[in-house]
Amino acid sequence: MEPYDGVVSQYTAFAEEAGDASPCFAEWGFGVAGDPEVLAWVDALPGLKKQPNLVFAAARFHGVPAPGPYAGLREALLGDDGSIRATIMARSTQTNEAGRLATLLPAFALAVPAGPVALLEVGASAGLNLYPDRWGYEWSTSAGPRTLGPEPRLGCLVVGDAPLPTTLPEVGWRGGIDLNPLSVTDPDDVAWLELLVWPEEDDRRERLRHAVEIARRDPPRLVRGNLLDELPALVAEAASYGEVLVFHSAVAAYLTTEDRARMREMLLGLVADRTCHWVSNEAVGVFPELAAPEPPSWRFQLTVDGTAVGFTHGHGHELTWL
């Protein structure tokens, strides 16, 4: 889903993506797309604030039950006294899906095979994906299951000859940049993260809660600001602690086309200078200059230092290695 698409396109695409994983959100997405009054309400929101998961999470934050019928959402939005709109304006879609680590870890290992790594996440939210060393993994391959680390393990179907690591990474430093970093010690921030999880996905909600507990024991360094302004200085800071690996997942899509190009050129420049490695996990088409041919539908493209290496499921369920 392209966040800068028109409202009907956004909500239709979101409903199709939700599919069987969230029948509630599929119903809500198609409901909004076919409802002129609600479409007008959503379309009055500025820019990226029209996003389905943001609008739906804000409605749930103010008591709309989910799972629940579309009628409840419709009534809440059209009868809003300004509270839902205020939450939409104050918040953003900062989903911290720890399940993505099962698809990111092989790319991390390819970029930095050994030694301490300084992990720097762009668009870090609460920083929950900065702990690849604190999870176990179970990759389902054609040769059978491959496991690494302790329980709980993040599961992932692997297609192709992915370089699955045999040891957990040594993380010497972990930090991130976000326009509005969330705190794992703030109950409202944690509640918001839970509301960004689709209603029927209880396994993701439990994974999120475990990730929050991990981060609370060892909080990361999170910097508030624009990645285009803050990234070079934070890369320099991280370099004292290991080989720097900058990564991001489902973040660049929220930048304008011009800023995506600036981000790509900045990171390719840092890679060329051997200042850092770069792992990108973004929707196909976000960086068209880096696109691999014939991408599968509803998949992210995984790149290492600007070269496509695979395609991933957005929530980490599947990795197809090129």
Which pair of tokens denotes residue 249?
């997942």
Name 303's bridge partners.
Answer: 280, 308
pLDDT given for residue 295 in this prediction:
81
List the chain domain ranges.
7-90, 98-321
Query: What are the average pLDDT values for consecutive 10-residue runs of the chain, which has 322 residues?
Result: 74 92 96 96 94 96 97 98 97 91 98 96 97 98 96 96 96 96 94 95 95 95 95 97 97 93 97 98 92 82 97 93 94
pLDDT given for residue 186 in this prediction:
94
Pairing of strands 136-141, 153-159: parallel
Cα–Cα distance between 236 and 13 in angstroms, integer? 40
CATH class of 98-321: alpha beta
Cα–Cα distance between 90 and 100 in angstroms, integer? 26
pLDDT given for residue 3 in this prediction:
56
pLDDT given for residue 2 in this prediction:
55
Give the torsion through C-alpha atoms of 44, 92, 200, 210, to 10 deg.
Answer: -170
